[in-house]
Every structure is written in C-alpha cells, then in structure tokens.
Chain A
Amino acid sequence: MPTSFAQTNDDFVSRVFRLPWIMILIMMGLGIFGVAVLYSSTITNPIEAGLPAKHAVRLGIAFVFLFALAMTPLGFWSAVSYTGYLGALLLLVGVEFFGAMGGGAQRWLDIGPIRVQPSEFMKLALLLALARFYHQVRASGEVKFFHHVFALMMIGAPVMLVFRQPDLGTSLMLAATGFAVMFFAGIRYWIIIAGLVAVVLSAPLAYFYVLKDYQRERVLTAIDPSRDPLGAGYQIQQAEIAIGSGGAEGRGYMQGTQSQLDYIPEQHTDFIFTVIAEEFGFVGSVGLIGAWIALFALGLMVAGRSRSHFGYLASSGAVVTIAFYVFVNIAMVSGMLPVVGVPLPLISYGGTAMLTVMAAFAVICATNLDRDKHLSISGFF
C-alpha cells in the first residue's frame, strides 16, 4: 500500500526542520551538564583525568549517530526489527555459551576486536519487534489474547537469557519495556492488574528461590544500608550522605566533599547523580529530574501524534526504556532500590547505555518525522 496523505514536504531540509528540536536541545543540555559533572567528579583522581574529554567525544559521536538514525524513515526501523530481534537473541545465546567473563557475569561477546553487549542491543530490538508484531496483528484484524501470549514469549526468551548471565537489572528492564509495549498495544486493564497482583504475590518467592545470594544481599542492603557499613552498605551510605549534605542549594560546583574526596565508589559512572545532588542540591536534582520528565512528556506526545501504530508503540516503548534507566538509577543511588548497575543516561561515564538511549531517542525522532505517514508492513522483512 502506498503511503498516502504525504502532505508535508519530505525533502532533507524540511525533515531536519521537523526534528523534535526541543527534545534534542534538552538532551544536549543534559549531555553538556554531564561532562561538567563528570569533570567535577574525576578532578581529584589523576587516573580519571581523561574521562570527561573522552565522554564529551563520545557524546559528540552519539549525537551524530542520533541524527543519522533520526533521519532514517520509520519504515526502515520496522523493516530491521525482526531481524534485529532474532540476531540479538542469537547473540544472547552466544553469550550463554561463549561469553567473555566480565564484571563477574557473562555479559559481553567478543566478535573479533569488537566487544558487544547483546543485552543492551536487545532492549531496542525487543521494543521494535514487539511494536511491529502488534502493528501487523492490528493491521490484519483484532488483537486476540493468544497474540499477547505470543508477545509474552517474545519478551520471556531474552529476559530469561539475560537473567541467567546474571544481570538482574537488564532483565528487569527488558521485561518492563516489553510489558510497556503490551500495555500500549491495548492489553486489557484487568489483565494488567492481575499481572501486578501476581508480581507482588510472587515477589517473596522470587526473592528466596530465584535470586542469588549476592542479589538478596543487595536487596537487604538497600533496605538497611547500616547492616554492613564497610561492605555492601558503604556505597549506599556514602551516597546518601552526599545527597543529604547537598541540602537545598548544594555545596557548589566542585565543592562537594563527598565527591571531591572520593568517598563514593563509582561516582563517575552509576553514582554520578550523587555528585549532582551534593554539589547542586535539591534545586539541581529536581531540575535534572524535571528536564528528564519534560523529555518523557514530549516523547509520549510524539507517540500520541503518530499516525502509524508502529510509531506509536515504538516511541512510547522507547520513552519507557529511557525513563526506566533514569528512575531506576536515581532510586538506586538514593537508597530506594537495590544497587543493580543501571547508569544515568547521557551523564554517567560509559558508552553502551549511551548508544541504547540515543537509538531509542532516534526512534522517537523518526516517529516524529513520519508521524503523518501510514506504514504498511507485511511479511517478515
């Protein structure tokens, strides 16, 4: 079916103008802020001296990457979704068998000189595959219950594989992304409520029978950091001290004693929010959260205005993926969730999550560009 109602100009320049610039500017602002915070958090440690510059270069590359992907037609995203999903699934299986040991768990796969983290790739692939699946189902008729069961299987396979690595955080994120797409795809409310009840009821069982010792330890430590002040609880206690001592207005840029004296392990990666909270205070922390919320709201609006079902599902799911990073990270460093190793996108030092988040944004941008287009998808490719 040809795309109809192409009322907007589709040449390159008008597409550039139609990019969601407010979102991109907020992201750039966050990225620049991140470099500054990274500078503050690494200044006292000579070994980390090059990190802010490296981060800035990566951000630059990531934004170029974002532009390139954002300009890609939405149809392309749907076209590669199944292939990507199956590829990612194969890589996860590969990790299961051949994965390099890294960070105490099998998460990486070395392909020649390139080291890939398939679970990260899977976040986007699962999102796109589910969006396409529901799009096609809807295009060919009503969504039935067994369609949801099939979607659940599409979610379950990578979640189980990632959980076995073991990477609790990423598997939960994958599940959340998947469930979010199912929710946006129209699964009935009573099923959602039943599912939530089931999760709540099975949580204790999962705690005792599914989680490993060190994971249980993290949960306990999150509940009461003082039970192990020199071990697992140290990091979270120091993080709380950093956040709390920031007060309303913060101690000033590069003035946070917790940050400057290296009291928080991983303060330039997962725990970078503590540096922001200590040096910029409540005002700075809430401002940062506000910027993210604005991004999410704009993203959901893009989803709402998408004419294609694929664009709607892919964008809303992408928002959930990114929001999951942000909320889990902040909740984790402020002692509300166990420490599960989720970075703060655009600000934490590290490349993998940055690419995932950029790609997710690219999906939202592409949706915005092609928001008035119908999308005809059939077959597998």
Chain B
Amino acid sequence: MGRKREVKELDTTRRLFIAGAAGGLVSSVIVGRLVNLQLLNQEEFEARALVNQISLVPGVPRRGLIFDRFGEPLATHRTSWNVYAAREDLADLEETLARIAEVVDLSPERQERLVQNFRREQPFIPVSILTDLTYEQFTRLSVMRPQLPGVTIEASHARSYPRGRDFAHVVGYVARANQSEIDAALEGLDPEVDRQRISRIQGVLKHPNMRVGRLGVEKEMDDWLGGTPGNHRYVRNAQGRTIRRLDDDENAPKPGKDVHLTIDADLQREAIRLFGDQSGAAVLMDVNSGDILTLASNPTYDPNDFVNGISSVDYNALRENELSPLYHKAYDGVYPPGSTFKMIVGAAALRAGLTDASERVYCPGHYDFGGRRFHCWERRGHGSVNLKGAIQKSCDVYFYEIARRLGPERIAAEARTFGLGISYELGMTGGASGVVPNDEWKRRRFNEPWYDGETLNYGIGQGYLTVSPLQLAVMTARLARTDGVAVMPRMVGVGDAVPQNPQNGSMPDAAIMQQLREGMFAVTSETGGTALRAGDINFNGYRMAGKTGTAQVRVISAAERVTGVIDNADLPRRLRDHGLFVGFAPYDNPKYAVAVVVEHGGGSSSAYPIARDLMHEAFVRDSGRAASYQIAANATDTEAI
C-alpha cells in the first residue's frame, strides 16, 4: 500500500534513536554533575553540612570551689536559672521581650534598657535578660518556651559564699567581667590574626553565666579556679531550634580546680565575733607550718551581694562607712607596731653585743636626747630595768637607750629578719609591705637624712615604721620558734595541697631568742607585766606569752585614702590609740602565734582579750583534727629542717 510505504519511508526508528541518544546525553550531563558533587567534592559539602547544623556556643566552665582547712566550703555553687539570648538568634528582639513580659515581671523601662544592652553587643554575644528566676517564673517561662525561639533558659552555677561575711576579704568575690578585664584577657592578641580566639574569649567573658574573680583568692587564683573556656556544640535545625547537644570532650569547657585554704572557718568566725562592733584585725598562725588559721578583718560585708552586681546605694554605704568594712585590714592595713616591736630592737641589740641580759638601764620616766625630752609611757619611771624587765613593763626609756646605740640600719635589718617590711604572697589580692625605714629609705622618700631622734622613736615602734597585722603574726611566730627557723606564712593551696613553705633569713642565736621569750612570758605571767590577764588561755594550763602595744599615731583609714587625707583640724575626736597585742602559746612548746590590732581601741587592753580568747578557741578546736589538705609533694616541711 502506498500510504503504508510512506509511513515506512519516515525514519521513525532513527528519530526514536536520536531522541534516546539526546536523553542519554542529558542523563550523562546530570550524572556528571552528580559525580562532581557527590564523588569529587563530597568532603567539602559534608563540611558545609556540618557548619550548617552545628552551632558553637561559648561554654562557660564550672568554677572551682574554695574550702577551708577542714573541707568546709567557703565558695560554692547554687543552681540559678537564667534567661539570655543572642540578638542574631532572635527574629524580633522587642517582640521577644514583650512576650517574656507577658508571663514575668519585666517593666517597659527594663525592656528598653535590655534593648540597649542588646544593641551594644555584637549580634552573636548572648545578653542576659533575667537572672536567678524564681520557681514560678521558671515554670511560666518554660511553658512559653516554644514561643520564644532563640531564647535560652539555662541552669547555671551561681557563685555562693556560705561563710559570706567571715571570708569577704580573704575569699573575695566574683563578678561579671568588665571591659578592662576583657581588654586584659585580649592583650597581645592581633585582631587580624587571632580573630577566632578573640571572639571566643569575648563570647565566654561576656556570657551571662560567666564570672571572673574580682577580689581576694577568687581573683588571685582566677586562672586555677576559672578552668578553661570551651564551646558547646549544638545541632540546630534550619529554624534555629536546638535538636540536641553533642558530647564533645575535646572542645567542652574544662571545669576549674578547687582551692583549699589553711584557714579554719569556724575560728575565723570566732575571731570576727570577738571584735564585736570594734574595727580591727586578727591573725592566728601555726608557728611550725606557717599555716594561717585566721585572717580576720572587722567589720566586714557580704560578698554574695556582689555576685550579681551590687546596687550603687549599697556600695556607697559600704565605701563611706568610717569603719571601712571593705578594707582588708589584716592583710592590707598597716599600723605602727608600737611596743610590740620592742623584742626586735632587743634582738638586734643582743645580736650586736650592745647589751646583755644583765645590763640595767635606769628609767626616770623620760630620756633626754639632742635637746629633746623623750617620755616613757610610765611618767613616774620604771627605775632600773634590764631587757626582760623592759619587755615585761614595756619600758620606753630602756629601748630609747639601746635604739640609740643600734642606729636605724641594725634595727631595720633585724626587723626584716623577723619578717617585717615585705609583702607576703598568700594567694589573694592585696598584701601590704609596710615600711621598715632606714637612712636610705628616708632619703628616697623625703629627700632628707635620718635624724638620730627618729632612731629613738624607732626603738619603741613609732615613727615611720608600719606593719600589717599579718606581718606582726609572722614576727611573733618567728619569735616563738625555738629552732631558729624563719617560718613563712601560707594560706592557699591549689587543689588539696598547700604549697611548700620556703624559709629564709638567719635568726638570732637560740640564747637570744630565749631571752626575748622570757620577756614576753613575764608580760603575761609575772608580777608587773602589762598584760597579766592574757597569760591564762584557759586550756590545759597553757600559758600565752605576748607583748602589748599602743599605736599613738592616727592611722589613715581606707575610706579616707579614697577621698583624700583630711586635714587634722577637720577630724572628729575619734583619735584614740590603736590597741595591739602579739602572743604565742603554749609558752614552753609554742604552737600558735597571734596578732591582734583594734583600731582606736584606746590601748592594748582592747586587744589582748581578743587574742587570749582566740588562742583559747584555737586550742579547743585543735584537738585531734587533721586538715583536709596535704602538703605538696616537693614541700619542705618546716619541722624537717
């Protein structure tokens, strides 16, 4: 058939084949594309898929805890529920805040301020919205969580100080990192090269849950306590909802390590209690190990108020209080030691051979020198006194005389031997070195030579000489040592081990030390002593030997330092003397040394009862209790020397 032939004439098979070939060509191109995507570049796309879904969130490490010598927590954690968000994770900041305000109290002004907080930060930095939710707030917000995408409600470890007031000065406190602390952490980092590191440090330091040490042990041991910041890795879907958190040991933040103090928290509390409403400081130290068992300053304040930021009203009240509660008097405060310094002058004179135990000096109640009359505190005079009697009765004339013989250089050298004039690194911020003056010091300080009259004042612990209560305790501990070791104080151990305790100095001969101790014993225990009521510490028949002191010079308080030294004429009449007392017990086998300063206490009678009662308490608490820390492996124990 013609028509049929015509149909056959059409090259249908060829055309179908061409169509098939075209399809094959298209398929090959597509398969080629798949080869390129899936086989040749799989790794790249896999990496990009990972970047897609994994979001890195700054991980705030858990801060290490701080314990006292028996494992009593001084700085710990409590769970605190906080709400925060990063701007970039929020679809609409204002609306999110408005939604939160529907269920918890969030005033429009506060919302406004939060918006400003958010705007100030880079979009990826989380900003705190609410802290320390109540249970009710937490449940209300949790119910609302699905309507708050991008908002994190998270339990954090809020710093808590169970022994708050007792340890405010020693332990210090933590606070949100301020800009200068962030700048310090970023110092030396090149913004071009270390961009990632910088943003990670910023991310962690600005994190609402992050706290840094601001004072005391918290600040000084911050690197140890703070741990290592890291990242948490969250799997997030395209809408930004967190699906799960990945376990990631490598990048996770490493928790900080604990710190153990040598301080006995209960003894510390007792010390503060003993001060009552007086201001001052007390230090109690183990003469053998150098352990500081008490480092108390009164009045004090509650560091818990500082953790989430203290109000400026409360802060100013603390700052302007004339008893200076913010001031760490035991460590940072310096006072003229007064008569407590006399043992040092005696030691210098005995060492120099300028006097001996038998030499007697006549005290008529005054001492004339260089056309000036120097008074003894006992205007009627002590009569003829030797060294022991001079210490016992605190005769000033005796020490004017031997100070004159010694001159300032030998007194200064002995003062340093006994641990004055240097600052002790105890593992917390601060630490006053005081002043141990000599000719060179005075030329440097006042551009004037040393006058001999100043040497006489030096001899009774007055003048330029200033010491901290801690230094007084160290001095007393060294006096108490029968083996001639210059014991060093220690207070902070890392982890559960306190550091080794280096010794230095060359103490006077044992015979000299014994004479000084006998003088101190007479002060508290022999008729005519200045602190006879301090001798009996009411424990096991132990006697405390010691020395009273009265600082007749007004001390410039911390508050006054801040506002500028006030002219004498404008001062209130509160210019009573500081009362001081140093002592050790038991006399025949010394274990503890104590130093107490009572500001404006009116004399040593304000100080020695505190010292006596504190010493009593130390022995009561001492019986059979082992410290929870160990001595670091390479430590050289003082008793081993």
Contacts and interface: CB of A to CB of B under 8 A. Distances in A.
Contact of B39 (A183, A241, A247, A261): A247
B178 interface: no
Interface stretch (B25-33, B182-190, B205-213, B566-574): B25-33
Contact of A261 (B15, B33, B53): B53
Interface stretch (A68-76, A124-132, A327-335, A351-359): A327-335
A320 B236 contact: no
Contacts of B12: 184, 303-304, 312
A3 to B, nearest CB: 14
Interface of A, helix, strand, loop or mixed by DSSP:
helix
Contacts of B30: 289, 327, 330-331, 334, 336
Contacts of A327: 23, 26-27, 30
A44 B237 CA distance: 10
B20 to A, nearest CB: 6
B33 A336 contact: yes
Contact of A244 (B19, B23, B38): B38
B37 interface: yes
A84 interface: no
Interface in B286-315: none
Nearest to B32: A336
A71 B236 CA distance: 51
A101 interface: no
A284 to B, nearest CB: 10
A103 interface: no
Nearest to B45: A244
B38 A277 contact: yes
Interface stretch (B2-10, B454-462, B519-527): B2-10
A289 B34 CA distance: 11
Nearest to A184: B15
A316 B24 CA distance: 15
A296 B20 contact: yes
Interface in A284-328: 285-286, 289, 293, 296-297, 300, 303-304, 309, 312, 316, 319-320, 323, 327
Contacts of B238: 261-263
B15 A243 contact: no
A186 interface: yes
A232 B6 CA distance: 52
Given A142-B6, A277-B38, A180 B19 contact: yes
B448 interface: no
B41 interface: yes
A113 B456 CA distance: 115
A29 to B, nearest CB: 19
A261 B234 CA distance: 12
A309 B19 contact: no
Q: Give the interface centre of B13, B26, B37, B48 by most chain A CB atoms within 10 Å.
A: B37
Contacts of A243: 34, 37-38, 45
B138 to A, nearest CB: 26
A138 B237 contact: no
B34 A303 contact: no
A168 B513 CA distance: 106
B19 A320 contact: yes
Dominant secondary structure of chain B at its interface with chain A: helix
Nearest to A306: B12
Given A244-B42, A258-B49, A186 B27 contact: no
A139 interface: yes
Nearest to A192: B18
A283 B11 CA distance: 36
A307 to B, nearest CB: 9
A186 B15 contact: yes
B7 A309 contact: yes
A242 B31 contact: no
A309 B27 CA distance: 28
A282 interface: yes
A238 B27 CA distance: 23
Contacts of A286: 31, 34
A270 B137 CA distance: 45
B252 interface: no
Interface in B207-255: 235-239, 243
Contact of A282 (B3, B34, B45, B235): B34
A120 interface: no
A248 interface: yes
A268 to B, nearest CB: 14
Nearest to A263: B238
A240 B38 CA distance: 9
Interface in A200-242: 238, 240-242
Contacts of B236: 261
B289 to A, nearest CB: 59
Nearest to B7: A309
B35 interface: yes
A304 B42 contact: no
Contacts of B48: 241, 244-245
Contact of B42 (A184, A248, A303, A316): A248
A264 to B, nearest CB: 8
Nearest to B49: A245
Interface in A244-285: 244-248, 257-258, 260-263, 277, 281-282, 285
B38 A282 contact: yes
A246 B34 CA distance: 10
A128 B461 CA distance: 119
Contacts of A285: 34, 38
B21 to A, nearest CB: 11
Given A138-B7, A186-B10, A334-B30, A247 B38 contact: yes
A244 B27 contact: no
Contacts of A296: 20, 23
B473 to A, nearest CB: 64
Nearest to A140: B3
Interface of B: 3, 6-7, 10-13, 15-16, 19-20, 23-24, 26-27, 29-31, 33-35, 37-39, 41-42, 44-46, 48-50, 52-53, 235-239, 243
6 contacts: A245-B42, A246-B42, A260-B237, A261-B237, A263-B237, A331-B26
In the A-B complex, the 5 residue pairs with the smallest Cβ-Cβ separation, listed nearest first, are A244-B45, A261-B237, A247-B42, A245-B49, A282-B38
